[in-house]
A and B are shown apart, each in its own frame.
Chain A
Amino acid sequence: MDGTDILVSAALTIITAATPLAFAALGELVVEKSGVLNLGVEGMMVVGAVMAFATGVTTESAVLAIIVGALSGAAVGGLFGFLVLVLLSNQVATGLALTIFGLGLSALVGHGFVGITFAGVPSLYIPYLSDIPIIGEILFGQDVMVYMSVAAAIGISWFLKKTRAGLILRAVGENHDAAHAIGYPVIRVRFLAVLFGGAMAGLGGAYLSLVYTPLWVENMTAGRGWIALALVVFAAWRPGRAFFGAYLFGGITIIQLHVQGVGWAVPSQLLSMLPYLVTIIVLVVISRDSGRQRLSAPASLGKIFYAAS
């Protein structure tokens, strides 16, 4: 295998490593923009992973598997929404509990699916375009979920910046009392955001169990939900940067593996640390303007809203 082949192959691996993080981070970003902090990303992801895999194996339909992955993530998100928005429970504690619940539930549901593999999600093939050397496969030869994640990044960015609904969502996240006072349905907006975040986390999980490693093993998310959460903060709640952060993280992860394989004398512990370190440093540096940082953090993040009247 020559140099360009390795580059193409590494790029393909990077896309696979980044996509689940991109889904989960973008979803959580919308949730946090609405003023809700959901620490249960890992739990929603892992439930999405197991449900998508179970559906895929049972029905042999990748499309159905992806849909069920998103719906089940949204369902777990809905549970969270009910607890924190209707019963007004503590968001941090509920989010942590949701992760533990998700891991347990997925282990239970997935019990019968250990040791089976899934055929995978078919990749796009456009005649001529996909055959272009080097960039053909990278740009036009991915599976449908990769394009969905790109579309989500663009769509969410547009939604938050350019649409009236996006403005309302941000208003609710900035000052829920004011938003309530001028008549916006704070709880409903937040509930929808939480459902959307759950669906995106579910898609991230589905990507893991359908494409990344098309199998089910317990706890297969292995902490990716937490990384997604961190990405949102370090990306200063901007969709583009969160997406970029996911690719940065995935990229460095894969590059450090390649460096090890070549046999450079760099300690592997240091290399394993790099994705975290570089992602944090880069995202902090590009968002270093502290005034704007404060502006982009939703002011009502994590605060409980109770409509007194």
Chain B
Amino acid sequence: MDTKNLKKRLAAFAIGGVAAVGLATTTLAADPLKIGFIYVGPTGDHGWSYEHDQARLAVEKEFGGKVKTTYVESVPEGADAARVIDKLATTGHDLIFTTSFGYMNPTLKVAKKHKKVKFEHATGFKRDTNVSTYSARFYEGRYVVGHIAGRMTKSNVLGYVASFPIPEVIRGINATVLAARKVNPAVTVKVVWVNSWFDPGKESDAAKTLIDQGADIILQHTDSPAPMQTAENRGIFAVGQASDMSKFGPNAQLTAIIDNWAPYYIARTQAVLDGTWESMDTFGGFKSGMVKLAPYNSKIPKDVVDLAETVRLAIEAGTVHPFQGPIKDQEGNIKVKAGEIIDTGSLLGMNYYVEGVVGSIPK
């Protein structure tokens, strides 16, 4: 063996060594991707947080050992949220889903400190280089439901159990009323705000109040199945929120608007794994599968089901938009002109009731 050959061998050895070190780093990088989730309610709420947790499980199932998920439930919106998000960011989570509107500012605050961590905030409107936002066009579901409710009501009064007066909730109320009055101009909607996302007792009280005041269909934008159960006990119809709540109202549930976050969560996890993640805003509806409807109640007449399906398919195809003019607010001012479709800014920042809603928005 001459020296030249030896040098070559040494060089090869060195390269091999570097390669080996390189390999070691790749093994390190292949440690499971840590994903954190924070929920506003308990995962057992059978509504909003439950569906987010179902999507988390779907991510685990899809990626197996490549990901490791952590979740923190029942985190109040506000200062506590920042602490929890920060904790997730400092304990090696690379992707963090913050799943309630009120986590918006805490998420952005923590994101500024941890530029390498990627954040996904649900239903918010503020973004950063490492903060994406995503939301679902629940109003598309509400618009279909409004058609059914408008046709099914006998008292022409719909009762709406609402959480907080934020644009997302107001948009849902308006979409329901617009649709219901399209098929039944006599319909009015009574709204009761419980100022909570999750308080089964209070939600149930609100539903009872609305029923006592003449509502014969209960809609809800709160997270527990209590309003559905109250409707079942009182023998009237209701529409489920976030999850299929037919277990709580086998006779009462007309349908339910289901949040389906799994495809989005899987896509975003894949993007992080591929290194293609970037900040963006997603607003998915029927078309992307983010919003779905539970099976229709068998008590709904066939022509009403057909109507609902026609509307749903038209929204999916893009030929119908729930907020297509003419739209008037409660005072009769034209908000969207006939034939026009609402602009995105007004849609996202909706702060007025349309005609047909009883009462005024709490300011």
Contact = CB atoms under 8 A, between A and B. Distances in A.
A217 B194 contact: no
Contact of A111 (B44, B205, B363): B44
A71 interface: no
Nearest to A111: B44
Interface string A1-36: 100011001100100110010000000000000000
28 contacts: A5-B212, A9-B212, A20-B201, A107-B42, A107-B44, A110-B44, A114-B46, A115-B46, A117-B229, A208-B201, A212-B204, A217-B44, A217-B45, A217-B200, A218-B44, A219-B42, A257-B192, A257-B194, A257-B209, A258-B213, A260-B191, A260-B359, A261-B191, A261-B192, A262-B213, A263-B358, A265-B360, A269-B195
A222 interface: yes
A163 interface: no
A222 B199 contact: yes
For chain B, the bracket of interface size reads 35 or more
B362 interface: yes
Contacts of B232: 117
A6 B358 CA distance: 18
Contacts of B194: 257, 272
A213 B205 CA distance: 9
A208 B202 CA distance: 11
Contact of B195 (A9, A16, A272): A272
B201 A267 contact: no
B88 interface: no
A275 B301 CA distance: 43
Given A9-B212, A13-B208, A215-B229, 19 more contacts: A1-B212, A16-B205, A114-B46, A213-B201, A213-B229, A218-B42, A218-B74, A222-B199, A222-B200, A223-B199, A253-B205, A257-B205, A260-B191, A261-B190, A261-B191, A261-B209, A263-B359, A263-B360, A270-B362
Nearest to B161: A257
A213 B204 contact: yes
By Cβ-Cβ distance, the 3 closest A-B pairs, closest first, are: A218-B42, A263-B359, A268-B193
B165 A268 contact: yes
Contacts of B193: 260, 268-269, 272
B247 interface: yes
B177 interface: no
Interface string A228-254: 000000000000000000000000011
Contacts of A114: 44, 46
A6 B212 contact: yes
A254 B213 CA distance: 13
A115 B358 contact: no
Q: For A219, A254, A261, which residue has the most chain B Cβ atoms within 10 angstroms?
A: A261
A117 B46 contact: no
Contact of A222 (B196, B230, B362): B196
Interface in A111-137: 111, 114-117, 120
Contacts of A5: 212
Nearest to A257: B209
